[in-house]
Amino acid sequence: MWRFIGLILLQILLFSSISKSQDIVELIRFDSATLSEENGERVQTLTNPRMRMRNVTMVCDIAYRFLDRNEMHAFGNIQIDTDTENIWADTLYYYTNQELSELRGRVIIKQDSTTLFGEKVDYNFLTKVAIFPAGIRLEDNQGTLLAKQGTYFQNQDSAVFRFDVQLQDSAQYAEGDSLFINREREYFQLFSNVFVVDSTNDALLTGNYLEADSTGRRYVRDNAYLMDVSDDSSKADTTHIFAGEILLIEQDSTSTIDALDSVKVWTPRFSSSSDTLFYDSASELFTLTGTPIAWNKNIQLTGPVIRVQLDSSQVRELQAFTGAFAVQQDSVTLRHHQLKGDTLQAFFEDGDISRIELYPNSELLYHTTDDNGEPDGAMENSSPTTTLFFENGELVRAKMGQNQGLFLPEYDGLDNRYLDGYSWRPELRPQKPESIPKARFSAIPIERPFTLPERFLEFIASMLSD
């Protein structure tokens, strides 16, 4: 009896001296408690304690409280619960006057629907900021993120990740060198070595900067590249767009593309070079402006504004306005047939040109051949309107109104005769990409980075049973 009363008095004196030296710690339970002095400072040792400090509750296997410097070390099967998060770790160094904790070993932080994993985490209970200097894995109900370093700001519901960043959710896979994300607004910025496969927009994107949000907006700049992956992302025979900037917006079941600055397009049916590009998936219409040039097979088209109308990825119509000029290189003689007019419309069937209409103020220079396929002159004509009919890509008939023309017999230099405004720039024609961009990193593993702590498994089991 007297021994028991003496033990109670010892604990009262022990905890009374502790409360005077630092913030009050409420001991809910413990197996044993001792007070000793090491290197001139008082140290309280607790085994299997459960304690409360302000709004923080903690359990562990053993805890050492350094009473003269407001510091605590805890080891083994640690669980920390607050009003906003649950934390598990193998080791804890807690500086109570700064509300700062150094968590080591198998560290897990669970905040609402977000779970963070790391083996080295510095966490501030006051500011709710978690720093992961040696690797982070973030999981929520949308996907998973990996990075070599990260800082998570709970109050702002945002985070910064650095080095080998990977993000995977149901709609996209993304990677880059660094990432800023605001989860509440579903907004993120990805920096350097950007690679994104976006299934929402059926697009593969690369560049040195990308930002995106929940509205379906994707903006990429600095060596921006977009590839259509609606059919098969392993095939290069699809649409490729290169530009200084690309803006991709998804709305309902359609999407639009705005591209600026040295825009290059390659598709199996046509290619182009322009200052700007606009594409609407609903109408399958490309609009090119800013000294644009478009190519289809052996035809080059120039004009201030060019439109390329597709039909199920096949070119159906090319249009050029306010000063169009078309050049077709003859497949046999390699001479350049030339067409110009205020407006030009070229129509296609099964990928081959079938008809060209020029109006008004049309001009034509068309080289002819003899029965042996050798050059034997040219026809030059001007007319308010001109309609040309083709079969298998070759001119078979011309229809002109109020024409003024002449036939030029063959002579040296006829192959260098040009209409005003002639331009032939095959060196600017984009070529099919030799390779398809690929992810730099292996797929995000399903497995967590370490064996899950016992108390964490118990916590998850209790949530599932509720």
Closest CA to 179 of 171, 187, 203: 187
Considering the domain architecture, whether residues 412 and 441 belong to the same structural domain is answered as no
List Cβ neighbours of 372 (8 Å cut-off, separation of 6 or more): none
> Which of 144-153, 196-205, 354-363 comes out lowest in average pLDDT?
196-205
Does 218 map to a domain? no
Closest CA to 111 of 127, 87, 142, 95: 87
Tens digits of residue pLDDT in 157-195: 899 999 999 999 888 899 999 999 998 788 999 999 999
Predicted confidence at residue 279, as pLDDT, reads 93
Q: What is the mean pLDDT of the chain?
A: 87
Residue 6 has pLDDT above 60, yes or no: no
Considering the domain architecture, whether residues 307 and 446 belong to the same structural domain is answered as no
Considering the domain architecture, whether residues 145 and 26 belong to the same structural domain is answered as yes
Considering the domain architecture, whether residues 137 and 276 belong to the same structural domain is answered as no
Residue 422 has pLDDT above 80, yes or no: yes
Does 224 map to a domain? no
Tens digits of residue pLDDT in 314-323: 889 999 988 8
Gyration radius of the chain's alpha carbons: 36
Considering the domain architecture, whether residues 278 and 419 belong to the same structural domain is answered as yes
Tens digits of residue pLDDT in 86-125: 999 999 998 877 778 899 999 999 988 889 999 999 999 8
Considering the domain architecture, whether residues 278 and 411 belong to the same structural domain is answered as yes
Q: Return d(Cα 313, Cα 322) in angstroms, integer.
A: 26
Considering the domain architecture, whether residues 414 and 425 belong to the same structural domain is answered as yes
Tokens of 161: 């990740």
DSSP class per residue in 234-285? T-SSS-EEEEEEEEEEEETTEEEEEEEEEEEEE-SS-EEEEEEEEEETTTTE
Q: What is the mean pLDDT of residues 61-69?
A: 91
pLDDT band for 19, please (50, 70, 90 cuts). very low
Considering the domain architecture, whether residues 29 and 160 belong to the same structural domain is answered as yes
- Entry pTM: 0.84
Residue 328 has pLDDT above 80, yes or no: yes
Q: Return d(Cα 22, Cα 19) in angstroms, integer.
A: 6
Considering the domain architecture, whether residues 464 and 416 belong to the same structural domain is answered as no
| Cα–Cα distances in angstroms (integers) from residue 42 to residues 19, 65, 66, in the given order | 13, 8, 6
* Cβ atoms of residues 221 and 228 within 8 Å: no
* Cβ atoms of residues 115 and 109 within 8 Å: yes
Considering the domain architecture, whether residues 31 and 133 belong to the same structural domain is answered as yes
The helix, strand and coil proportions of the chain, stated in percent and rounded to the nearest 5, come to 10, 60, 30
Q: Return d(Cα 246, Cα 463) in angstroms, integer.
A: 45
Q: Return d(Cα 258, Cα 224) in angstroms, integer.
A: 12
List Cβ neighbours of 342 (8 Å cut-off, separation of 6 or more): 321, 322, 323, 324, 359, 360, 361
Predicted confidence at residue 141, as pLDDT, reads 85
- Classify burial at 102, counting beta carbons within 10 Å of its beta carbon; exposed 0-12, middle 13-18, buried 19 or more: middle
pLDDT band for 4, please (50, 70, 90 cuts). very low
Tens digits of residue pLDDT in 211-263: 988 888 899 999 999 998 876 545 678 889 999 999 998 877 778 999 999 99
Considering the domain architecture, whether residues 405 and 451 belong to the same structural domain is answered as no
Does 324 map to a domain? yes
Q: Return d(Cα 183, Cα 212) in angstroms, integer.
A: 12
Q: What letter does residue 416 receive in the DSSP assignment? A: G
CATH, residue 300: 2.60.450.10
Considering the domain architecture, whether residues 464 and 331 belong to the same structural domain is answered as no
Overall size of the chain counted in residues: 466
Predicted confidence at residue 247, as pLDDT, reads 95
Domain total for the chain? 2
Predicted confidence at residue 231, as pLDDT, reads 62
**How far is CA 22 from its chain centroid?**
49
Does 417 map to a domain? yes
Does 115 map to a domain? yes
Does 191 map to a domain? no
**Higher-confidence position of 444 and 15:** 444
* Percent over 90 (pLDDT), the chain: 56
Q: What letter does residue 97 receive in the DSSP assignment? A: T
Does 36 map to a domain? yes
Does 223 map to a domain? no
In terms of residue numbers, what domain contains 452? 21-170+436-466
Q: Return d(Cα 111, Cα 106) in angstroms, integer.
A: 17
Q: Return d(Cα 10, Cα 3) in angstroms, integer.
A: 10
Q: What 3-state DSSP class applies to 16?
A: helix
